[in-house]
């Protein structure tokens, strides 16, 4: 061991080169281009080269979509999973996420403004158990829709969910599909606009419940969207799936999403629909 080399590798922060590199740079999964994270931040984490949408945390969406510094009245931030099945490893997993992500579950909900229009915004975080829907998620959703009704505000959901319903809460998770749809039905009957934004990936029980019931459904480009996971389908039919199967563009073609919208244009697009369905200053119902 030659001390000289060792010393050179050690940078002032005590981190090695690989760590520093990961801290500063990010690589596009699609085209392989390397970027300064600061640069990608300015691009809302959309690859300038190929348009690939990096997966971003729930709080980033809050930052990008709501007006600056404007996310208040957090809904359901004090509710926590109860591990009703005493499912192997679940409690421990949750503890880890609480610490690492500073979230009480996979969903975040509150009121805020989009270009001055007040809304209830519900957004999920993929890093929290794949953005899966358990009891807390369902409860936050329903409290959110009810807040929207009681204050006559439009409701927006933005989802990323790998598996849909959260396996670790078994049948309780499955029931959240019906529970969230109760929220949608109530929105419908109160004539409150509900815009569902689906990002990569939104699958299973989330896609097969409220996310597919938006008055308007917008998808981020290139997102994986569908009911069954591609691997499950391939195992069932014993053949490879065609390129682009179950993507946002595929769903657009088949007629199941209204539009595919780049993250960079999402805020303006939402503003258009909020105005169109709800009136200039939010809602202006004439009845």
Partner 1 sequence: MRALDFERPIVEIEEQIKALEKEAQDNKVVKQALMRLKERAEELKQHIYSNLTRWQTVQIARHPDRPHAVFYIHHVFDDFNEIHGDRNFRDDPSIITGFAFLNGRKVAIIAEEKGQDTKDKIYRNFGMPHPEGYRKAMRLMDLADRFNIPLISLVDTPGAYPGIGAEERGQSQAIAESIRKMLKIKIPFVSVIIGEGGSGGALAIAVADRVLAMEYAIYSVISPEGCASILWKDAKKANEAAEALKLTAKDLKEFGIIDDIIPEPLGGAHRDPVMAMNNFKEYVLKHLEEVEKLEPDKRLILRRKKYASMGSFIEKEG
Q: Residues in the site for partner 1, rule: CB under 8 A?
A: 78-82, 84-85, 87-88, 134-136, 138-139, 142, 164-167, 169-179, 181-186, 204-205, 207-213, 225-229, 232-233, 236-237, 241, 245-246, 254-256
Q: Is 101 or 174 the residue whose CB approaches partner 1 more closely? A: 174
Cβ proximity to partner 1: between 82 and 281 the closer is 82
Can you tell me which of 25, 27, 37, 52 binds Zn ion, judged by CB under 5 A? Answer: 52
Residue 279's binding partner among Zn ion, partner 1, none (Cβ under 5 to 8 angstroms by kind) is: none
CB of residue 101 to Zn ion, shortest distance in Å:
26
- How far is residue 217's CA from residue 260's CA, in Å, rounded to a whole number? 9
Structure tokens at 51: 């348009």
How far is residue 154's CA from residue 134's CA, in Å, rounded to a whole number? 24
Cβ pair 269, 261 in contact under 8 A: yes
The DSSP 8-state label assigned to residue 44 in this structure reads T
- Binding status of residue 39 toward Zn ion by CB under 5 A: no
Q: How far is it, in rounded angstroms, from Cα 131 to Cα 159?
A: 8
Cβ of residue 193: shortest distance to partner 1, in angstroms? 16
Whole-number Å distance between alpha carbons of 12 and 17: 11
Query: Please, which residue, 68 or 189, has the CB nearer to partner 1?
Result: 189
Residue 49 engages Zn ion in binding (rule: CB under 5 A)? yes
| Contacted entry of partner 1, Zn ion, none for residue 78, CB cut-off 5 to 8 Å set by kind | partner 1
203: β partners: 226
Among Zn ion, partner 1, none, what does residue 173 contact (CB within 5–8 Å per kind)?
Answer: partner 1
Q: Which does 221 bind (CB under 5 to 8 A by kind): Zn ion, partner 1, none?
A: none
Residue 5 CB neighbour total at 10 angstroms:
9
Q: Work out what residue 30 binds among Zn ion, partner 1, none; the CB cut-off runs from 5 to 8 Å by kind.
A: Zn ion
* Nearest to partner 1 of 53, 168 (CB atom): 168
Give the chain's largest Cα–Cα span: 82
Structure tokens at 45: 């984490």
Asked whether the beta carbons of 176 and 143 are under 8 A apart, the reply is: no
**CB of residue 34 to Zn ion, shortest distance in Å:** 10
Unique residue bearing structure tokens 């019906």: 178
Q: Kindly state the smallest distance separating residue 265's Cβ from Zn ion, in Å.
A: 18
47 binds, among Zn ion, partner 1, none (CB under 5 to 8 A by kind): Zn ion
Q: What are phi and psi of 172, to 5 degrees?
A: -60, -40
Cα R_g (the chain), whole angstroms: 20
DSSP 185-197: HHHHHTT--EEEE
How far apart are CB 105 and partner 1 at their closest, in Å? 9
CA atoms of 251 and 244, how far apart (whole Å): 10
Question: Shortest approach of Zn ion to residue 62 CB, angstroms?
Answer: 25
Smallest separation, CB 28 to Zn ion (Å): 3
Asked if 28 touches Zn ion (CB under 5 A), the answer is: yes
Nearer to Zn ion, 16 or 49 (CB): 49
CA angle 199, 202, 205 (to 5 degrees): 150
């Amino acid at each position: 061991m030659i001390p000289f080399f060792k010393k050179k590798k050690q940078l002032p922060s005590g981190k090695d080169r690989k760590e520093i590199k990961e801290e500063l740079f990010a690589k596009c999964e699609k085209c392989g281009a390397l970027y300064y994270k600061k640069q990608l931040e300015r691009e809302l984490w959309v690859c300038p080269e190929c348009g690939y949408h990096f997966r971003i945390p729930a709080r980033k969406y809050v930052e990008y979509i709501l007006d600056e510094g404007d996310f208040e009245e957090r809904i359901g931030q004090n509710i926590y999973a109860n591990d009703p099945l005493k499912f192997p490893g679940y409690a421990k997993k949750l503890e880890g996420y609480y610490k690492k992500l500073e979230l009480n579950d996979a969903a975040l909900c509150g009121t805020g403004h989009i270009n001055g229009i007040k809304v209830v915004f519900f957004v999920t975080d993929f890093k929290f158990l794949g953005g899966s829907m358990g009891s807390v998620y369902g409860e936050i959703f329903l409290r959110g829709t009810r807040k929207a009704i009681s204050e006559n505000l439009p409701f927006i959901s933005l989802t990323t969910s790998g598996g849909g319903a959260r396996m670790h809460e078994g049948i309780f998770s499955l029931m959240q599909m019906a529970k969230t749809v109760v929220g949608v039905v109530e929105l419908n009957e109160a004539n409150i606009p509900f815009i569902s934004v689906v990002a990569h990936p939104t699958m299973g029980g989330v896609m097969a419940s409220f996310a597919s019931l938006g008055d308007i459904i917008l998808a981020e480009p290139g997102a994986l969207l569908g009911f069954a996971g591609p691997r499950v389908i391939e195992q069932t039919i014993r053949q490879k799936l065609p390129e682009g199967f179950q993507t946002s563009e595929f769903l657009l073609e088949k007629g199941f999403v209204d539009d595919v919208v780049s993250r960079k244009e999402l805020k303006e697009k939402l503003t258009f629909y909020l105005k169109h369905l709800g009136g200039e200053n939010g809602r202006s119902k004439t009845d």
